[in-house]
């Protein structure tokens, strides 16, 4: 019996590349479910080819502790390979193997096996693979559970109560084993957070000032979705007799992004898509981890939770996402995929005419015909379609597979 819940959003993207001469790299934050997606792919391969010889290496298991560097991995794969072309290599957390890129390059050149691997650090994977295997690998990024996956994992029906649980507890796959008990889940999430910070940030990036790193994460949690400037933070710290150079702040932010713990959303001009180098926003991969870091108040923090969940959902569906700037006005998100584009405003409730005018007005000023949405938590839609701009409930937006045809 299968010991996992399928996540076809990812396996169906990877499946067309089975038996293709490309290294399939599955990336994402630690504990996000990459290992289980690897197992699902093994089952797909076995189903398609009963003769498949599966070579599996899990660097988080003690039984594979002897595989420390590229030559160890090469020797192991060579000894486990069979004398036909149906060898499939699956390596979990490949960044734990020193100089892994040399082994993968050799295996690929020898056409010895079809290669799949996972990794939890963007710096190592993108840097090493891009240098030694440019054009010979393809990356698939995995995110925490979508709202639809959260419902399926936890056998829930779509409702306001279920959605509130999702916004509070987040989408780390393992929490479905914890019976949605908030106290137990937050204890688990705090341990995941500590592991990510220690293994994927502090150790991997040689961080020295751990206390400041933790304070920086807490600041980002308190200011999720707010414009951020490392220079302003540095100036504020100096006023508090804390001397942290701007470059150190930028380095720590990059280290957090490399672990896929947070994501940077750059600002872009709506007309012409000029990218601004200063004044980005940061969002967390998982809301449960975000909420476990600091005490949060659901009513007070609902707007930042909504923005965060929309941003990650757009990434999950393959969009490049920017914070829009149009003159003095801001558009919460510009989402782009291929030749498609979406504009989105996110607002908790359209309480009065002033809020309605602001949220719809910012989008009305954009002179093109790409889809424009105001995403809210209003149960009643006050302006279902206002001059071509649609108001849509956040739950409906998240459950929609095709964002352009809502």
Instruction: Read off the pLDDT of residues 254-299 as tens digits, 9 standing for 90 and up.
Output: 999 999 999 999 999 887 777 777 789 999 999 999 999 987 788 8
Residues 6+ apart with CB under 8 A from 233: 219, 244, 249
pTM of the model: 0.94
pLDDT in tens, 227-258: 998 888 888 778 778 888 899 999 999 999 99
What residue ranges in 247-338 does DSSP mark as E strands? 262-269, 275-284, 320-326, 329-337
* Amino acid 383: pLDDT: 60
**Under 8 Å between Cβ of 144 and 171:** yes
Report residue 284 CA to chain centroid gap: 8
CA-wise closest residue to 28 among 306, 315, 280, 226:
315
HEC-encoded secondary structure of 116-175: EEEECCHHHHHHHHHHHCCCCEEEEECCCCCHHHHHHHCCCCCCHHHHHHHHHHCCCHHH
Q: In sequence order, what are the beta bridge partners of 84? A: none
Residue 295's SS3 state is coil
The owner of tokens 């929309």 is 310
* Amino acid 1: pLDDT: 40
Kindly indicate whether the domain formed by 8-141 is annotated with CATH number 3.40.50.150: no
Domains in the chain: boundaries: 8-141, 147-405
Report the distance separating Cα 367 and Cα 275, nearest Å: 19
CA quadruple 218, 229, 340, 343: dihedral sign: positive
Q: What residues in the chain have per-residue pLDDT under 50? A: 1
* Amino acid 387: pLDDT: 79
Residues 6+ apart with CB under 8 A from 103: 70, 71, 73, 74, 77, 97
Residue 265's SS3 state is strand
Extract long-range pairs of 130-135: CB within 8 Å, 24+ residues apart. Answer: 131/101, 132/101, 132/102, 132/104, 132/105, 133/23, 133/101, 133/104, 133/105, 133/108
* Amino acid 381: pLDDT: 63
């Amino acid at each position: 019996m299968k010991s996992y819940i399928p996540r076809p959003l990812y396996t169906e993207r990877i499946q067309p590349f089975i038996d293709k001469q490309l290294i399939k790299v599955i990336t994402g934050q630690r504990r996000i479910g990459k290992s289980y997606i690897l197992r699902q792919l093994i089952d797909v391969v076995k189903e398609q080819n009963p003769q498949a010889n599966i070579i599996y290496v899990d660097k988080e298991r003690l039984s594979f502790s002897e595989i420390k560097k590229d030559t160890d991995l090469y020797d192991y794969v060579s000894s486990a390979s069979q004398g036909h072309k149906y060898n499939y290599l699956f390596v979990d957390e490949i960044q734990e193997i020193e100089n892994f890129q040399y082994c993968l390059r050799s295996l690929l050149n020898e056409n010895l096996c079809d290669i799949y691997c996972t990794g939890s650090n963007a710096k190592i994977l993108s840097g090493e693979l891009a240098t030694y295997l440019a054009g010979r690998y393809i990356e698939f990024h995995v995110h925490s559970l979508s709202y639809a996956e959260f419902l399926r994992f936890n056998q829930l029906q779509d409702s306001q109560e279920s959605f509130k649980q999702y916004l509070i507890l987040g989408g780390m796959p393992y929490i479905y084993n914890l019976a949605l008990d908030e106290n137990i889940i937050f204890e688990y999430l705090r341990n995941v957070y500590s592991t990510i910070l220690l293994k994927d940030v502090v150790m991997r990036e040689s961080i020295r000032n751990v206390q400041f790193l933790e304070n920086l994460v807490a600041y980002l949690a308190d200011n999720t979705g707010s414009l951020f400037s490392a220079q302003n933070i540095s100036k504020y710290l100096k006023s508090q007799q804390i001397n942290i150079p701007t470059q150190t702040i930028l380095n720590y932010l990059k280290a957090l992004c490399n672990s896929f713990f947070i994501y940077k959303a750059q600002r872009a001009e709506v007309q012409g898509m000029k990218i601004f180098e200063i004044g980005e926003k940061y969002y967390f991969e998982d809301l449960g981890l975000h909420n476990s870091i600091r005490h949060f108040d659901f009513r007070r923090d609902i707007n930042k939770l909504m923005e965060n969940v929309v941003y990650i959902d757009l990434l999950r569906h393959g969009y490049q996402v920017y914070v829009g700037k149009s003159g003095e006005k801001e558009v919460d998100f510009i989402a782009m995929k291929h030749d498609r584009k979406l504009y989105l405003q996110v607002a908790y409730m359209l309480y009065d005419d002033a809020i309605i005018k602001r949220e719809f007005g910012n989008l009305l000023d954009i002179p093109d015909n790409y889809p424009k949405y105001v995403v809210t938590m209003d149960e009643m839609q006050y302006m279902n379609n206002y001059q071509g701009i649609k108001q849509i409930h956040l739950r409906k937006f998240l459950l929609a597979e095709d964002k352009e045809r809502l």
